[in-house]
Structure 1
């Protein structure tokens, strides 16, 4: 089935899809994204054998399993990252934040870190390597790392832990050799690091989905809120707040600011690095 054999997606069709996708994911596509959206809708229409948007939309919206909507989410979300991106935040984590969190916990109590979105795993695995290499407390304190994404395909890729040279270009050579096995230009993360992260499918704006994400000491939520409008950002901020322990911290991307979204968090500075802290509210 060629693109020429598919009915044209009208402006009304685009609006129907944009509205549904926003309600379910919080992601709003501007008019300038029309070509990007149409192209991926045509791809899914061809794969599923639908020649009209109406038939495809009905199929996708009411499919009992929800598999096609997940396929569409996978197609519409962009996932591009690399190891130790914005590494100054990882440094602040091991130099300052982890010791503070460690001091508040009882012996034998885990510290919990959530990385969302996970993309293909570079961020959560960077967290694991950073802790092993630069935080002395790892010798006596177990750390649980959970990483989530709305895209099921990137989660499968993350679990495999296989990366290109570009993905690992910011990792010092000695660290590369310690934690990766190179083969034909690909870099396979060793099993111990792969096993240190749990990957889960999650939609941060689904209240029923988010009930399972609680009691985190530290959250990395970088370059996700930039895809949301103001209302979705406020909803996401509340979800993140509810997922944190009092006294816990959250890092956002360098172009994002929690202060422009909500006043619930306190701004904490570690040198030039900004983190946001959930205030203590009478203990935990």
Structure 2
């Protein structure tokens, strides 16, 4: 096969299409990254040109190739207990506020999106077990979602390199992880069973419609990859997904106030978070 090159016009055409499908916007400085992955999929699928491959992306009924390309295009870089001040805020401020609105012992639902390879949802589960004594009195449900089906499989497996767990205290590592022969660490079965992993595209109404009645949403360092319109759409998804009085946590460089006025800014001692107004 001859060397395949992506023209500027083709890059722009693909960028617009991918944005419509996923809400992810690639800037011009990402062109090398995008071109390299496009060429990889063109070669794997034995398409003879960008044009033929692009037609497959647009018109393939199953959407399998678009999903494979999406898996390749999304970046998954994280580690355990990243920005853990928000977990402290969850335990000390958000959950007490949520519990005050509920019947004792009822269900509390937490949504972590994107899941990436699972470090964040498992971190939430471990932090609750270690630092929230009330967990035994409530029915906590933890859902974690991502657009990347390959990374969801890794999350369900729950195996991590020493680098991923470098901020986990040794005693916690012993309690919740099993050391593998290759030096990796695997989350114990009980914790793996405690998190439900699902695929979701925040830009697809059909995907997000089922996500309702959550009390806390963690969506950290995802919206930085969206443009203003996609951010507003994501904010509306979160608003609809939350119970009145529920909370959204964003990454330290993100601000819901610059996206929408739907949420109330809550400045707790541990962190700034965003609350869906309580019903009057």
Coordinate RMSD, CA, aligned:
1.0
Equivalent-residue separation in structure 1 for 2:4 and 2:99 (angstroms): 59
Matched, 1:8 2:8: no
Aligned pairs for 1:219-258 (under 5 A) are 219-258=217-256
Alignment of 1:122-141 (within 5 A): 122-141=119-138
What is the DSSP-based 3-state SS (H/G/I as helix, E as strand, rest coil) of the residue aligned with 1:181? strand
| Matching residue of 1:177 | 174
Q: Is the 8 A contact 1:119 1:154 kept in 2?
A: yes
Report if aligned partners of 2:89, 2:270 keep a CA contact under 8 Å in 1: no
**1:37-76 to 2 correspondence within 5 Å?**
37-76=34-73
- 1:35-91 Cα offsets, whole Å, 9 max, x none, are 100000000011100120001111122111101000010011100000000000011
Give structure 2 stretches of 5+ with no counterpart. none
| Alpha-carbon offset, residue 185 of structure 1 | 1.2
Tell me how far apart the structure 1 counterparts of residues 94 and 69 of structure 2 sit (CA, whole Å).
38
Answer whether contact 1:164 1:186 (CA < 8 A) is retained. Answer: yes
Structure 1: 5+ residue runs without aligned partners?
none
> Residue 35 of structure 1 is aligned with which of 21, 32, 43?
32
C-alpha distance in structure 1 between counterparts of 2:113 and 2:258, whole Å = 20
Contact (CA 8 Å) 1:6, 1:52: kept in 2 or not? Answer: no
Aligned residue for 1:195, secondary structure, equals helix
Tell me the residue number matched to 2:276: 278
Which one of the candidate residues 195, 201, 223 is aligned to 1:197? 195
Equivalent residue for 1:260?
258
Q: Is the 8 A contact 2:5 2:39 kept in 1?
A: no
Task: Extract structure 1 runs of 4+ deviating beyond 2 A.
Answer: none
What is the distance in 1 between the residues matched to 2:270 and 2:92?
13
C-alpha distance in 1, partners of 2:213/2:89? 21
Q: What TM-score do you get using the length of structure 1 for normalisation?
A: 0.96
Question: In 1, distance between residues paired with 2:16 and 2:29?
Answer: 15
TM-score by length of 2: 0.97
Residues 88 and 270 in structure 2, CA contact (< 8 A), matched pair in contact too: no
Q: Does structure 2 conserve the Cα–Cα contact (< 8 Å) formed by 1:161 and 1:188?
A: yes
Question: Within the alignment, does 1:105 sit opposite 2:96 as a pair?
Answer: no
Residues 156-165 or 179-188, more deviating: 179-188
Q: What count of residue pairs does the alignment treat as equivalent?
A: 279
Q: Is the 8 A contact 1:128 1:193 kept in 2?
A: yes
More displaced stretch, 190-199 vs 99-108: 99-108
2:154 aligns to what SS in structure 1? Answer: helix
3-state DSSP class of the match of 1:93?
A: helix
Deviation of the 1:107 alpha carbon: 3.4
Helix, strand or coil for the counterpart of 1:223? coil
Q: Does 1:25 align with 2:42?
A: no
Instruction: State which drifts further: 110-119 or 261-270.
Output: 261-270
CA distance in 1 between counterparts of 2:107 and 2:238 reads 19
Does structure 1 conserve the Cα–Cα contact (< 8 Å) formed by 2:215 and 2:246? yes
